Amino acid sequence: MIRLNEPALLANHSYINGAWVKKDTTFDVTNPASGVVLAQVSNGDGQDAEAAVAAAKAALPAWAAKSANERAAILRKWFNLMMEHQHDLGVIMTAEQGKPLAESKGEIAYGAAFVDWYAEEGKRIYGDTIPGPASDKRIIVLKQPIGVVAAITPWNFPSSMITRKAAPALAAGCTFIIKPASETPLSALALAQLAEMAGIPKGVFNVVTGTNSRAIGEVLTTSPDVAKFSFTGSTPVGRKLYEQCAGTIKKVSLELGGNAPFIVFDDADLDAAVQGALASKYRNAGQTCVCANRFLVQRSVYDTFAEKLEAAVAEFQLGDGMDEGVTMGPLITKKAMDDVHALVEQSVAQGAQVVVGGQPHALGGNYYQPTIMKNVSNSMAIAANEIFGPVAPLIPFDTEEELIAMANDTEYGLAAYFYSRDIGRIWRVAEGLEYGMVGINEGIISNAAAPFGGVKSSGLGREGSKYGIEDFLEIKYLCLGGLNK
Ligand code: NAP
């Protein structure tokens, strides 16, 4: 059972054109901490996606015609409602996703911050005037909303991955359709409930829930009425959806997988590096796209760093995220846990040594022990693949040149982290890393004011910051001639 102060936040049907759309078939949403079924949610399909596209198309002219100030006032109400209901939204998230309540409430504040930020940024969509090539011409550049935006998001950040897309889209004057992950639709539906309370007009924000993600995704990526498609999730699925968008030449944003190196140089503040490592590696039980995936540690501090990290990791309290004192929850599914364990076992077979953890947790279910491994090499599968679990493989390196080559030796390029106190090294390494985001002496890098996104197979485009709204705008150039007559 999910106990809320505002029970109306617990919705279980798709939200299309301002109405809750009940289906005859449902799917179960379960609590990963206990396996208990939390809700049965309407199992939407391709037809629901088509209805949502039609609703978003119909709502577009009136929403786009509002002034930026009018849209900002409504978005601001949405933000205020999210913060007013932060506790309830956090409870819903912990129930369906498993992260500790404090982390869930932190995600609600993080996600709401995008709504606050873009409510304001929408007022600063500036055009341009450009001197013309002839004396009787003027060039004027307008920025207009791109149109209907469709999005698909993952389960690891069930609320903020939606607002990070919806807020700039709505602020720019676009209308929006979201298909949330099947594991975590309740957080998305709670956002829809609050959107309605905030006065977001019908058809402007739509949520289609359903386990037939292929059929729903097919409509969202191929409909000629969708101008922009935005995806956060795994690289293989992103690649497929990118292909599907080609037929209608949609503008596409992709926030995909990562393989973040967490680098510790011999001149680093090791205690600060351990604190950064805890946040970057073990937050959300290691299930974030920007999680440290490989620890590259200079040989002279390798053992000391390992000892300090081991001591810190021993403090984690695993359990149901609603319980007092719990600092790490379960993994999202049994399959996710089995995949993590398979990578650990494969590494051990290849010569890696488990320092701590390395097994499913005694709590059973989807819980996995916080793990540290030594004697790992950059060529092992655990260093090449997204682990998506609380496992820290420690790889030694000797020189800066060797380090840069190792860090960049991956198809991914989302986030990287390094700890050093040498200003020359800081610039050299920051510029040499082929990543969209680099944390320097810092393990937490995401916020609404900063451009989030990756290079290489980690994606296309940026979310958040002044750059994030550009993907939801089209440039229109006006050539004003005949001025000398
Ligand atoms: P996923 O399997 O790619 O699923 C993500 C979303 O895509 C879900 O809503 C899923 O729906 C949907 N989906 C799956 N197959 C589809 C298809 N054929 N057509 C249309 N939609 C489809 O990823 P995940 O396991 O949920 O999430 C973890 C991944 O997301 C990791 O790789 C992580 O790095 C990445 N991620 C990236 C960022 C970033 O900002 N770069 C942020 C967070 C997570 P169903 O749930 O219904 O299957």
Q: How far is the CA of 338 from the centre of ligand 1 (A)?
A: 18
Domain assignment of residue 391, yes or no = yes
Q: Assess whether 121 and 204 both reside in one domain.
A: yes
Do 187 and 200 have their domain in common?
yes
By most ligand atoms within 8 Å of CB, the mutation choice from 42, 159, 237, 435 for ligand 1 is 237
Which of 27, 41, 48, 152 gets mutated to test ligand 1 (max ligand atoms within 8 A of its CB)?
Answer: 152
- The SS3 of residue 447 is coil
**pLDDT < 50 stretches in the chain:** none
Q: How far apart are CA 285 and CA 155, in angstroms?
A: 13
Strands in 94-211 per DSSP E: 128-131, 138-145, 148-152, 175-179, 205-207
List the catalytic residue out of 107, 255, 386, 463.
255
Torsion of CA 383, 387, 391, 397, to 10 degrees: 20
Q: 191 in a domain, yes or no?
A: yes
The burial of 442, by beta-carbon neighbours within 10 Å (0-12 exposed, 13-18 middle, 19 or more buried), is given as middle
CA nearest neighbour of 219 among 17, 54, 15: 54
Q: Please indicate whether residue 255 is annotated as part of the active site.
A: yes
Residue 479 known to be catalytic:
no
Q: Are residues 12 and 41 in the same domain?
A: yes
| Dihedral of alpha carbons 369, 95, 77, 16, sign | positive
Given the CA of residue 240, which atom of ligand 1 is nearest to it? Answer: 18
Q: What SS3 state is found at 475?
A: strand
Q: How far apart are CA 347 and CA 363, in angstroms?
A: 24
452, part of any domain = no
What's the pLDDT score for residue 485? 72
In a domain, 409, yes or no: yes
Residue type, 349: A
Going from the Cα of 182 to the center of ligand 1, the distance in angstroms, rounded, reads 10
How many residues make up the chain in this entry? 485
Q: What is the CATH number of the domain that holds 462?
A: 3.40.605.10
Q: Are residues 20 and 110 in the same domain?
A: yes
Residue 248 sits in the same domain as residue 220? yes
Domain that holds residue 99: 7-256+458-477
Nearest to 176 by CA among 15, 314, 7: 15
Q: Are residues 170 and 122 in the same domain?
A: yes
Which listed residue (121, 196, 245, 289) is catalytic? Answer: 289
Residue 2 within a domain: no
Q: What is the pLDDT of residue 1?
A: 80
Asked if 171 and 277 sit in the same domain, the reply is no
Collapsing DSSP to helix, strand or coil, 287 comes out as coil
CA-closest residue to ligand 1 atom 31:
234
Same domain for 244 and 128: yes
Whether 483 maps to a domain, the answer reads no
Residues 168, 251 within the same domain:
yes
- Ligand 1 cavity residues, CB under 6 Å: 152-157, 161, 179, 181-182, 211, 213-214, 217, 232-234, 237, 240-241, 255-258, 289, 386, 414, 454, 459
Q: Would you say 12 and 207 are in contact if contact means Cβ atoms under 8 Å apart?
A: no
Q: Which atom of ligand 1 is nearest to the CA of 155?
A: 26
DSSP 60-114: HHHHHHS-HHHHHHHHHHHHHHHHHTHHHHHHHHHHHH---HHHHHHHHHHHHHH
Total domains, the chain: 2
| Residues 206 and 279 reside in one and the same domain | no
Whether residue 407 is contained in a domain is answered as: yes
- Clarify whether residues 252 and 334 are in a common domain: no
Q: Report how far ligand 1's centroid is from the alpha carbon of 84 (Å).
A: 29
485 is a domain residue: no
CATH for 309: 3.40.309.10
Cα(299) to centroid(ligand 1), Å = 36
Cα distance between residue 439 and residue 418, in whole Å: 6
Q: Identify whether residues 370 and 430 lie together within a single domain.
A: yes
